[in-house]
Every structure is written in structure tokens, then in C-alpha cells.
Amino acid sequence: MVRKNHRFTLAARPVGLVKPTDFAFEEDDLRELDDGELLVKVRYISLDPAMRGWMNEGKSYIPPVAIGEVMRALAIGGVVESKHPRFAVGTHVSGLFGVQDYAISSGEGVVPVDPRLAPLPVMLDTLGMPGLTAYFGLLDIGKPVAGNTVVVSGAAGAVGSVVGQIAKIHGCRAVGIAGGADKCRYLGEIGFDAAIDYKAGDVKARLREHCPKGIDVFFDNVGGDILDAALTQLAPRARVVICGAISQYNNTTPVKGPSNYLSLLVNRASMTGMVVMDYAPRFAAAIGEMAQWMAAGKLRSHEDIVPGLAQFPQALLKLFTGENHGKLVLELPA
Amino acid sequence: MVRKNHRFTLAARPVGLVKPTDFAFEEDDLRELDDGELLVKVRYISLDPAMRGWMNEGKSYIPPVAIGEVMRALAIGGVVESKHPRFAVGTHVSGLFGVQDYAISSGEGVVPVDPRLAPLPVMLDTLGMPGLTAYFGLLDIGKPVAGNTVVVSGAAGAVGSVVGQIAKIHGCRAVGIAGGADKCRYLGEIGFDAAIDYKAGDVKARLREHCPKGIDVFFDNVGGDILDAALTQLAPRARVVICGAISQYNNTTPVKGPSNYLSLLVNRASMTGMVVMDYAPRFAAAIGEMAQWMAAGKLRSHEDIVPGLAQFPQALLKLFTGENHGKLVLELPA
């Protein structure tokens, strides 16, 4: 039996915002597996801000996607054929399977997932990379202590919403910055103490109002003017966690550096970058702890599920225009 | 006997580069001491980049100098009269005595200095605030380990030259960035492994050449384009110490933020501000260690001594135009 595969490959390096023509939709026949390979039927594809960076040429923490190559994406699926000693047919697995129906894998970077722990999309969200990014970025780099004020940008996103909830679990005041009244209402529902709508105006004034003792931990997903506003409100010895800069990823001009970085000096503060893969040896323990929080109702997860592989380019764009609500996941038929 | 005092007061808040008319030169008669006060005959006045910040309005780590107030400056002098229980006539002391012949002090922030340890100007330089800034900024924030590459900007200045020499003492490769061939030659004389003349062109290319394994510690005194160039060459887990930003202090436009700050993310690096006064309880121990290094010929100090209180405005300007060579100190008659 020959299976058909559909996939999105990178057709062009985007200039500015990603557009549908940066991808090509292709169909072909799947080849036979070689020894040591497995075939995964992809079920859920994670759409992440980091994908924008992978489309650019140049050195980063991971090589860029080549033109003509299937677009890289983290996904979850089921093993449907296997010539690999470690992965039996029927196993659920996650890995960089790409934006396609089927992935042939050598098993590198592939990890089994336990579908009894949570619905599969949650394994790409709060119990997956976004949740782990929030967990290690906040706890290992931000080092919050009870009573601290923790501010997070992109707060309604997959990472940001977990940052705020873990801050609350650790006895901190959680303040979220997000775009629009709907997202801000959602932050209230999941327990943030205050929400700032950056589309409604003066972020600096709102930070002053909601953080009267200054910001102890700023977890930044967006960069740009919001990072600059937060820098003006740091408390002494504040920790700024640089997790991302979604406001800058589609720039055609140079990245806007934080003009107020000298606030680090005045406040003896630090700004530190993090890449979640560095914490891989501790993933299982962190997922275990977060699953307990979820079971206890202390940590809530919310996915924005888009059905159909063909929706990929439009769905990805929603990330950068801020239209998604919760973690964006593309769902493929079983 | 009534003593005459001469002093420079702040006449106007400077816009851009400091100019002589931002100060007023005044003469008056010294009043009698009250109980608990001491009178210091100022001998050496330290001219520091931080003074530019003290002239601006607005919140910082120390209140601004008020208009009409004597210009704040760290200085060393001798106690010539005393109604203070802790300071006897004849004692040498350092403190924020200001740009004037005589200072009346309550003793707050005044510390005795031992003139046998080193010549008095050295106590304002390598064995004073600049040396202590280098010592704690490099060792406590930069945390260099033997074999690391340490890069310092403003390397021929009072802080930078000590940073490079302490890096060498700790078994690191020391690379200095300075302006002009003379300053670069001086860096070679005091043991730097390489010197980069930023006035001679492409700093990024020179950093790549002289730091083939990347920059482990970047100690920044200047900010602006040099900080941005250094950020492109960070090694994984690099530490950036933000000590100052002399290139930005006279700006009339907003500070140029580091466009390449996302290099912190890619390299899991950190950028941390420091203020030397936080380390006051450890000053004596650090001065003791540095004095031993000086005695052993491992640490050299170089002062640029300008005679005469009246030279103050012109001498201060040299700091910002980069004309000084070594620590700038104003010398007053005994």
C-alpha cells in the first residue's frame, strides 16, 4: 500500500510578515521505511512564534529551514509503521515532525507521550514546550519569591498564561500584558491579579499603577516598546527573562533595542536569555509537577485548535497578528 | 582667621555635552564649624563619567545635584579643623567633598585613607572607586574563569584598564577596546592580549579576529554601537556587565538601545547592571588585595593629573571627548 503525503515546504524566505506564498503545498507518495526508521501519522501540529525565526537565514540556536524543505514544526502523532527498535506501532510520540500528514523519522528527538496524562493538544501546550518554557524561564531565570510582582508580556499566549499561573502558585502578584479586552478578561479568569491592554494606551502608566513596588520579574515574550516600558518600572535587583520578541520577528528594519536598558544599571538588575531545550534532562519532572497542578485545578490550559493541514499558512499568521486565543494547534484527521 | 573658599556650582542642567557655562565659579568666606563637623582641605578631585548623570534631573541611584549647589565630586584631602569625634586634624580622608577648595562635612560617607599605601591620586583611581568598580563588576558579576575571553570597552580608562589587568591575573585572555593608537599601545604595555581601536573601523570584525571562541565576559563602559558589536560575538552563557554608557551620557536624543540584545537569548547570556556602592562592606578587603597586586607589579595605575581648581570645566570635558589618558584627577595646592 502506497500512502499519499501532503506537506508545506518553505518556498521563499519571508520579508516582514509571513505570507501564504512563502510556502508551497505539495503531495507525493511515501517511500518505504529503511531499517531504524519509524512512520508517524501526524495528529496535532504546534504553531509557535519560534517558527518565524527558523525561516530566516543565518546563525541561531538551530539551523534555518532550507528552501524546499518541509516546514519545521513540533507535532504529536501515532506510530503507524516501525522498523525502529524503540518505537512500536500504536505508540504516541512527539517530535519535530514538520507541517505534513506523515513523517518518516530516525527516532532522533522523538519522545513517547502518555495520552492518559492529558488530551494530546495539551501535550503541545501547557504540558509541552510552551509550558516548559514558562516553567524553567520563570523559576530558573526569574527566580520569583513569594510576595514578588511578576509581569509577563504576551500574557494570553501559551507561554505567558502559564507564567502568570505559576507565579500565583508561588505566592507572587501576577500582572499580564496582552492585546485587547477579550484577552485581558481571560487573564482575570485564570487568576492574574491585573491585566494591561497594550492596545488601550499607556502601558508605562498602567504598570506604575498595578506594580506600586516595581517589577521584580519581567518575563518578556514580545520585545519592542513593551520591553522598554517595563524597564522603566523595575524594582531593585529585578530579573528580566528574555524568552522571545514576537513584536520584532517580522521586522524588515533592524530590531528595536531596549532604549531603557540603563535601568539595569540603576536597579542592579539583570536581563537573561533562555532556550528551553537546555533543560531537557528536567522535562519529565517539570511535566509531572505541572500535571499535578492541572489535576488540582491550579493550572489551566486553553488551546485554539484549527482543523485541517491546508489552514497552516493562515493559522500561522494569526500568531503574529495576535488573533489567536490560547495555544494555536493545527488538527489533522486520525 | 577667615578662610576663603572657591568652588564650582551647577549653574544649568546641560543639554548634550557639558559646557563651561553649565557651572559657576564662586568665592565666599568659610563659616565656623558646628559641633560634629570637620573641615577638609581638598587636595585631589576625581573626575568621573558618573558626574554627567548627577547633573541631570530625574530619578537615579543618587539624587541629582541641585542648581546652585556645589558640583558633587569624590575627593581626597586633609582634615584641617575638627569638631568631630572620629576625625582628628591631620588625618587624610576621602568623601564626596565636591569641586571646591574646602569642604565642611558631617563625617557622613567620609573614610580615612592611608597615605602610606599609595600616592593619594592612586586612592582615587586603582585603589579607589574606579578600581573597586572594576574589581566587583568583573569578579562578582562577570565571574570570569581561567581561559575565558574578557573584553572591556573604555579599556584605557580608569575602570577599563583595571578590568583587563584583573582578567589577566585570573588567567583570562584580555581584549580592550579604546579610541586611538596611543591608548591601544598603552593597553599592550599593561598586559592586554589585544587592543581594538574603535576609531580605526570595524569593531565587529576585530572582535571576531581577537575572540575566536567568542566573548565570555563583556564589561561595558561605553554603550551604543560598541555594545551592539560585542553582543554579536558572545560565547554561550556569556556575562555582559553594564557598568556605564559614556557614549550615551551627553545624548540629546533617546539612548540607543542595544539592537542585538536577542543575542542574549540565542546564547543563553545575561546582561547585568552594577553600582559599586553596593559592595561597600567589602571595599577594604578588595583594596588590600589590589594593593598587593600593585606591590607585586601585576597591577599598574596611571593618572592624568590636571593642576588647578579653575581647570575643572575643561578637564571634565576631556572625559567625554576621550582626550584623557588614565584616570583624570584635578590637583589643588596643599
Report the pLDDT value the prediction gives residue A50, as an integer from 0 to 100.
86
Q: ipTM higher than 0.85? A: no
Domains of chain B, start order:
4-125+302-331 (3.90.180.10), 129-277 (3.40.50.720)
Number of Cβ within a 10 Å radius of residue A285: 11
Angle CA B99–B102–B107, to nearest 5: 95
Closest CA–CA distance from residue A157 to any residue of chain B (Å): 19
Q: How far is A267 from chain B (nearest CA, A)?
A: 7
Q: What is the 3-state secondary structure (H, E, C) of chain B?
A: CCCEEEEEEECCCCCCCCCHHHEEEEEEECCCCCCCCEEEEEEEEECCCHHHHHCCCCCCCCCCCCCCCECCCCEEEEEEEECCCCCCCCCEEEECCCCECEEEECCCCCEECCCCCCCHHHHCCCCCHHHHHHHHHHHHHHCCCCCCEEEEECCCCHHHHHHHHHHHHCCCEEEEEECCHHHHHHHHHCCCCEEEEHHHCCHHHHHHHHCCCCEEEEEECCCHHHHHHHHCCEEEEEEEEECCCHHHCCCCCCCCCCHHHHHHHHCCCEEEECCHHHHHHHHHHHHHHHHHHHHCCCCCCCEEEEECHHHHHHHHHHHHHCCCCCEEEEECCC
Nearest CA in chain B to A223: B262
User: Does A127 have pLDDT greater than 90?
Assistant: yes
For residue A105, what pLDDT band results from cuts at 50, 70 and 90? very high
**pLDDT at residue A24 tops 90:** yes
Phi first, then psi, for residue B8 (nearest 5°) are -105, 125
In chain A, the percentage of residues whose pLDDT exceeds 90 is: 85
pLDDT given at position B255: 81
Average pLDDT value for residue range B255-264: 90
Contacts of B274 in chain A (CB under 8 A): 265, 268
> Region A261-269: what's the mean pLDDT?
94
Q: Which of A23-32, B246-255, B273-282, B315-324 has the lowest mean pLDDT?
A: B246-255
Instruction: Report CB contact under 8 Å: B266, A256.
Output: no
Mean pLDDT, chain A, whole residue set: 94
Q: How confident is the model over A230-254, as pLDDT tens digits?
A: 999 999 999 999 998 877 777 777 7
From the list B264, B269, B273, the residue facing A266 with the nearest CB is B273
For residues A312 and A306, give the distance between their C-alpha atoms in angstroms, rounded to a whole number: 9
pLDDT tens track for B278-324: 999 999 999 999 999 999 999 999 999 999 999 999 999 998 887 87
B39-94 pLDDT, tens digit each: 999 999 999 988 998 999 877 778 999 999 999 999 999 999 999 999 999 999 99
pLDDT of residue B5: 97
pTM of the entire predicted model:
0.87
Higher pLDDT, B251 or B164: B164
Q: What is the pLDDT of residue A254?
A: 75
Q: Which candidate from B243, B265, B273 shows the least CB-CB separation from A273?
A: B265
Query: Mean of the pLDDT values across residues B100-104?
Result: 98
pLDDT over 90 for what percent of chain B?
Answer: 85
Going by pLDDT thresholds of 50, 70 and 90, the confidence category of residue B117 is: confident
Residues of chain A found within 8 Å of residue B268, distances taken between Cβ atoms: 272-275, 278
Kindly report the number of other CB atoms within 10 A of residue A251's CB atom: 14
**Taking Cα atoms as reference points, which of A173, A178, A175 lies closest to residue A200?**
A178
